Structure 1
């Protein structure tokens, strides 16, 4: 594969028992979407949420370079409060397939390795507290979209691949701390504008029936599920970009749930809906 030798293991192993989805199908999925996924991974240190025995087995985060990582996989030193660490950069198809063979969700920071203090994205993780669902997340997302637009910031949406919705936008000229501060300001505004629907605090007792607007993933140390990553859920669900029309028309939770088999047809229909995030010329300055 591009001049690299890669041993793939346990291809017949069923990783998603609810659907019989195997490790071979996981690897095929990542190979199929590689051209679209890799630009969202490139130059971003990756945290792996690994589930080698499926979502019902052991699930654990790997942030440092895993033991046995091939020497041709790119790594980089990343600053942390407790001291620098070395993390993986998934820069090409062989690295992607090596990482996929570990059976992992891909999680990335909102900054690039060249300038870890400067955010190039802002993210809001909209997390519903039962009985709220992604339907209520869509209502909050539409409000946030308009609020961001008022500041000249264009937002894009993707499913979390679980219960909620992520909003992302390209930004420039601001530190992770400043982006976090701005995101919190908007989360507080959302709660004031939608008091029966939105919440900016994580307090569990306040969350039933509301959407937690998690602004904290903009902190320099935090990561968010990468676009197009598979998730460790009962079915092979994907964190999939969605159109704003789909967000507006969402009336039932299942309407915005996309599995690995759905992504190829969606890419043919829409292309990469998050492609504008990769164009730094479209990044907006925070007010």
Structure 2
């Protein structure tokens, strides 16, 4: 079953609206689309001008999950696309620039993943990201401890960090940079991860090796590489329940006493946007807050 709706003058075909995509809560595709319409203003700011990778889960999180990086077949001609560099050669990818494009993309049942750079300046990052991933039995509580250390370490270099949940088990830290080649940002981020592992050897690892990670927080710096992408703020995740990669305050990070305290569902986001007067990550768009990397890391 499909429905054609008009969104800001564009005809958008929506399919299988009654399909349950999140079995733990019975959350349907129609509810997914409603969530994205509700969070659109905040989400679109983070998607705009950034080539998108889609992690699709058309049959829910227990079905097949697969990444789509090239423009999918059947993409409407009014959806913006852009040619971007890839290791195998230039590729054309989707940009979600407006509400009709967001509703079309959300209908694909997908997570939204973005690069740290905009298509106008490929491979020159305007953000740095650190992905804090807990190895069981560690949880987001331990991620918060690491996040607070990294916040202070970044501040020592004049860089202001902001936090969001991953929507899975961990935390992401983001900061705005003056445009900087992705390779330099990657090197700086790796240095931070190594420093954190030296400062907190019982808590942090900076290498991906699985055997090193139980009970510790892996500080993943790799998503700063030009070809890598990270789950966007406000994207739903392919989990049993409709969890969201949700911005959080530093007070929430410092006060976190249990994993459930920093787990947010789609139904939580509207109230959070209202309570905080909009997007907690809005400062990332303020050019006055963008900072250069310290000179020693960019030489």
TM-score, length-normalised on structure 1?
Answer: 0.99
Per the alignment, residue 99 of structure 1 pairs with: 105
Q: 1:70 aligns with which of 72, 76, 79?
A: 76
Q: CA deviation at 1:117?
A: 2.4
The total of aligned residue pairs comes to 287
Q: Deviations over 1:20-57 (max 9, x none)?
A: 10000000000011111101000000000000111111
The question of 1:53 aligning with 2:59 is answered: yes
Q: CA deviation at 1:281?
A: 2.5
Distance 1:46 1:11, change over 3 A: same
Q: CA deviation at 1:244?
A: 0.2
Q: Root-mean-square deviation (CA), in Å? A: 0.6
Distance in 2, Cα, partners of 1:232 & 1:174:
32
Q: CA deviation at 1:97?
A: 0.2
Q: CA deviation at 1:173?
A: 3.7
Q: CA deviation at 1:87?
A: 0.1
Per the alignment, residue 289 of structure 2 pairs with: 282
* 2:173 partner SS: strand
Per the alignment, residue 263 of structure 2 pairs with: 257
The question of 1:43 aligning with 2:49 is answered: yes
Q: Deviations over 1:37-94 (max 9, x none)?
A: 1010000000000001111111100000000000000000000121000000000000
* 2:251 partner SS: helix
Q: CA deviation at 1:145?
A: 0.1
Distance in 1, Cα, partners of 2:129 & 2:9:
36
Q: How does 1:1-287 map to 2 (within 5 A)?
A: 1-270=7-276, 271-287=278-294
Distance in 2, Cα, partners of 1:173 & 1:54:
37
* 2:239 partner SS: coil
Q: CA deviation at 1:172?
A: 1.1
**Unaligned runs of at least 5 residues, structure 1:** none
Distance in 2, Cα, partners of 1:80 & 1:261:
36
Which ranges of 4 or more aligned residues in structure 1 deviate by more than 2 Å? none
Q: CA deviation at 1:3?
A: 1.1
**Unaligned runs of at least 5 residues, structure 2:** 1-6, 295-299
Which range moved further: 171-180 or 153-162?
171-180
Distance in 1, Cα, partners of 2:9 & 2:247:
32
Distance 1:55 1:282, change over 3 A: same
TM-score, length-normalised on structure 2?
Answer: 0.95
Distance in 1, Cα, partners of 2:46 & 2:288:
16
Distance in 1, Cα, partners of 2:87 & 2:267:
40
Q: CA deviation at 1:153?
A: 0.2
Distance in 1, Cα, partners of 2:221 & 2:166:
15
